[in-house]
Amino acid sequence: MTKSKTTAITEELYAYVLAHNPPLDAVQRELVETTRQRFPDAARMQSAQEQGPLLAFLVRLCGARRIVEVGTFTGFSALAMAQALPPEDGELIACDVSEEWTAYGREAWKKAGVADRIDLRIAPALDTLRAMPDEPRIDFAYLDADKDNYIPYWNELVPRLRPGGLIVADNVLFGGAVSDPQAEGPAAAIREFNEHVMADERVEAVMLTVADGLTVARRR
């Protein structure tokens, strides 16, 4: 198969892309930099800078009021999505297992004035999801957590997603390793997840080459 239109992303071109996207605000920029400084070995787990404005755009596009995030880390993506929620009744449930990492998110959310919109639940995410009401009341979900559990997370989220609601899954390219049929470990888990999504008739989904790969799925 011959590639169609593709463009290699150089550092200069990446800077150009960021310059032509909605800019990060002061709190978002501070959180991105703090994460890089405090957790240099783990900072790659933070959603890419261009993903913050994209997530906020999608939240507004589908008119989301109830969001679930699986995998919060230091809170950049939660911050971007919470800022896009309606202030009067928007709610974001953030699932993570680390008090240390999410403490930085709590501080940023407070600075940005959105702490009251974010319900951080420190517990295994599957426990949190399974404790939620069974009816389809979620408008938007963002999945960016441990790769081995992507399919179980997906299977808990989809039935709770309202018709027309969106799920966005990060790292679906896993550094390019998903194209290898012999992939092992997390790459194999993501490869299996991608096949699972493609076969799921409850949703329509597209895979995008944004950052490390994003799948955007809409509940039918």
- pLDDT tens-place string over residues 148-184: 999 999 999 999 999 999 999 999 999 999 999 999 9
In a domain, 179, yes or no: yes
**Overall number of domains in the chain:** 1
Residue 5: pLDDT band (50, 70, 90) is confident
Q: Are 202 and 158 in contact (CB under 8 A)?
A: yes
Q: What is the CATH number of the domain that holds 195?
A: 3.40.50.150
Does 4 have pLDDT greater than 90?
no
For residues 178-193, average pLDDT: 97
Give the 3-state secondary structure of 81-105.
HHHHCCCCCCEEEEEECCHHHHHHH
pLDDT tens digits, 20-35: 999 999 999 999 999 9
Tell me, what's the pLDDT at 2? 64
For residues 118-136, average pLDDT: 97
Tell me, what's the pLDDT at 35? 98
Q: Are 65 and 93 in contact (CB under 8 A)?
A: no
Q: Are 215 and 197 in contact (CB under 8 A)?
A: yes
In a domain, 82, yes or no: yes
The secondary element (H helix, E strand) that includes residue 169 is strand 161-170
In a domain, 1, yes or no: no
Q: Are 151 and 196 in contact (CB under 8 A)?
A: yes
Q: Are 96 and 106 in contact (CB under 8 A)?
A: no
Instruction: Of 144, 147, 154, give the one whose Cα is nearest residue 183.
Output: 147
- Structural domain including 24 reads 11-219
If you average pLDDT over every residue of the chain, what do you get?
97
C-alpha of 105 from chain center: 15
